[in-house]
Amino acid sequence: MTKVRKFFIAGILVVSSLAVLGFVRNPDIYFLIKKNFTIFSEVYREVSLHYVDEVNPEKLMRKGISAMLGSLDPYTVLIDEAQNQNMEIITRGSYGGVGMDVGYRGGKVVVIAPIEGYSAHRKGIRSGDVITEVNGVDVDDLKPEEVQNLTTGEPGTTVNLKIQRYGIDHPLTFELERQRVEVNNVNYTGFVGEQKDVGYILLNRFSQNTGEEIRRAIKNLESEKELSGLVLDLRNNPGGLLEEAVATVDKFVPADQMVVETRGRLNQHNSVFKTSESPMAPDLPLVVLQNGGSASASEIVAGALQDLDRAVILGEQSFGKGLVQTVRQLSYNTALKLTISRYYIPSGRSIQSVTYTHDDSNNAVVKPDSMRKAYKTRNGRTVYDGDGISPDVKVSAKKPSLLQTSLMQHNIFFEFANQYAAQHDSLSKEARSDQLYQDFLGFVEQRDFEYRLPSERYLSKIDSSLSDAQMPSDTHIQALRQKIQAHKKQAFERERTDLEEMLYLELITRYKGQKGQTEASLPFDRMVNRAIDVLKNSNRYTNILTVSN
């Protein structure tokens, strides 16, 4: 008997066993599952064995599974072995690896930052190192997450990395020992403001032990000095464990307060989550930062604190993910991440921004403003459902200019920092000097850096139209083109302050890592500065939380 046939017979037996054991809530659904499972297995077997061209049975099945789950929502997905590290990070807060973050720069896989205290950092791996091989495997055609997966494994085992470092002609080889890498949810804790009496906590995810890390962060801040307020930064935090979101709210809200309720098709998925501890900071003025990358558990925290009038939410509209997933383990080290319910925050509103039609196209339907329902916070402020969390104070992030974006896309800051780090053992106190900026401009010129303004594209179209019509190019066009080139050169001086800031932060990373970069960036952060202003103005802070809108 073929493996394919055994697989499907086993599946049918499981379905039949569930029915025999009385697990059936709706007999019709189990008949339909069995009937269509049989049809599907027969189609799969016939195609796999008899199609005119040889097919890969695993790829064929994965496409079928992907299409089936794609008709539900973007969050219900099959997790294969290669993706299990991410789930391990969320559920356990750790993974077996060498301790480094990797990403793309200039089409190459590079080390973004080694994690202090782990093998990569101890052996001398640096930010900016280009990874060329992992255990003899060429990584040129691999994605960063695939390279990261190659470096993970059982603690105590070793992995060999070959890297190319700026300023060194020959490749460097490192033998790194895998360790149990503890992933911090709180990535930075410190003080902001002129008096440095406002606490700041950067929370990047909600995996295991988030609540405990928040508790320690607050305790450490309060042990150093009396706080006049606290900024909790949830920007670009994609969420994670629901229980850890509740544990975070726990630190600021009295016990027995409803934080979130889940409602699903089955009663077993309906739950009410309440705070259970005495808060650490029940009266400490609190501002929560969010943006469009704040989702799921982040929105539970921001939404609950808003509905309970416990914190001022500042920044941009959040993502709007109000669907709850659970991970169900499957065979062969795979798992199914399955949406089982929706969650609702204390005012009773849902934050889910779209609904899915579940038809052939499975369109995501956004609820129009006219259909959004109004709810009330504890103090009577009006809030709305169906579009994430709206901030109490709207502040947009500073958008990079076309010049700045182009420099980043061409990895100019990144490569200049690599060159500087290769030539300097430490970051000079003159890191924002005129000489350094002139060196940077010289580096840009050496790279033959070019970028195009929209006006240049329009002129090119006009010029092309004139050529097609066999008309001479207008002298005015040539004059405009020269003015545009002059304008572009002047942009390096007009935007010098911003360019120096971006360059400085890239250089800081080479010597002080991600934490050093975060600390250095806070004085320039417009959202952080606005949060400090709100916290320092007690009347404004109170009015935001009490005045009905």
DSSP codes, 112-172:
EEEPTTSHHHHTT--TTPEEEEETTEE-TTS-HHHHHHHH--STT-EEEEEEE-TT-SS-E
Taking 60 as the threshold, does the pLDDT of residue 486 lie above it?
A: yes
Taking 80 as the threshold, does the pLDDT of residue 26 lie above it?
A: no
Per-residue pLDDT at 467: 61
pLDDT in tens, 151-188: 888 889 999 999 998 888 888 999 999 998 888 899 99
Percentage of the chain lying above the pLDDT 90 cut: 53
Taking 50 as the threshold, does the pLDDT of residue 361 lie above it?
A: yes
Average pLDDT of the segment spanning 402-414: 89
Per-residue pLDDT at 466: 57
Average pLDDT of the segment spanning 468-489: 70
Percentage of the chain lying above the pLDDT 70 cut: 86
| Residue 80 designated active-site | no
256 contact partners, CB below 8 Å, separation of at least 6? 274, 275, 276
CATH topology of domain 94-182: Pdz3 Domain (2.30.42)
Per-residue pLDDT at 170: 87
Taking 80 as the threshold, does the pLDDT of residue 476 lie above it?
A: no
Average pLDDT of the segment spanning 20-42: 77
Q: How far is CA 54 from the centre of its chain?
A: 39
Question: Are 280 and 220 within 8 A, CB to CB?
Answer: no
**pTM of the entire structure?**
0.82
Per-residue pLDDT at 160: 93
323 CB burial (10 A radius; 0-12, 13-18, 19+): buried
Per-residue pLDDT at 314: 98
Taking 60 as the threshold, does the pLDDT of residue 303 lie above it?
A: yes
| Residue 296 designated active-site | yes
**φ, ψ of residue 491 in degrees (nearest 5):** -60, -30
Taking 70 as the threshold, does the pLDDT of residue 11 lie above it?
A: no
pLDDT band at 521 (very low <50, low <70, confident <90, very high): very high
Average pLDDT of the segment spanning 129-138: 92
Per-residue pLDDT at 462: 65
pLDDT band at 200 (very low <50, low <70, confident <90, very high): very high
Tell me the C-alpha distance between 413 and 505, whole Å.
9
| Sign of the torsion angle spanned by Cα atoms 460, 463, 467, 472 | negative
The catalytic position among 127, 207, 296, 341 is 296
Taking 60 as the threshold, does the pLDDT of residue 24 lie above it?
A: no
Taking 90 as the threshold, does the pLDDT of residue 212 lie above it?
A: yes
The catalytic position among 197, 250, 307, 385 is 307
pLDDT in tens, 49-69: 999 999 999 999 999 999 999
Which range is least confidently modeled, 259-268, 301-310, 314-323, 453-462?
453-462
Per-residue pLDDT at 458: 66
Taking 60 as the threshold, does the pLDDT of residue 18 lie above it?
A: no
- List the chain domain ranges: 3-55, 94-182, 186-397, 402-451+495-527
Per-residue pLDDT at 263: 94
pLDDT band at 432 (very low <50, low <70, confident <90, very high): confident
pLDDT in tens, 385-407: 988 999 999 999 888 898 998 99
Instruction: Name the CATH code of domain 186-397 (choices 3.30.450.20, 3.40.50.300, 3.90.226.10, 3.40.1000.10).
Output: 3.90.226.10
Per-residue pLDDT at 5: 45
Which range is least confidently modeled, 117-131, 136-150, 239-253, 454-468?
454-468
110 contact partners, CB below 8 Å, separation of at least 6? 102, 103, 104, 128, 129, 130, 131, 414
Highest mean pLDDT (candidates 17-26, 145-154, 291-300, 424-433): 291-300
Per-residue pLDDT at 549: 55
Per-residue pLDDT at 16: 44
Which range is least confidently modeled, 49-58, 328-337, 350-359, 398-407?
350-359
Mean pLDDT of all residues in the chain? Answer: 86
Average pLDDT of the segment spanning 504-524: 90
As beta bridge partners, residue 180 has 96
Three-state secondary structure along 50-109? HCCCCCCHHHHHHHHHHHHHHCCCCCCEEECHHHHHHHHHHHHCEEEECCEEEEEECCEE
pLDDT band at 470 (very low <50, low <70, confident <90, very high): low
pLDDT band at 9 (very low <50, low <70, confident <90, very high): very low
The catalytic position among 162, 251, 321, 367 is 321
| Residue 538 designated active-site | no
Per-residue pLDDT at 114: 85
pLDDT band at 4 (very low <50, low <70, confident <90, very high): very low
Taking 80 as the threshold, does the pLDDT of residue 272 lie above it?
A: yes
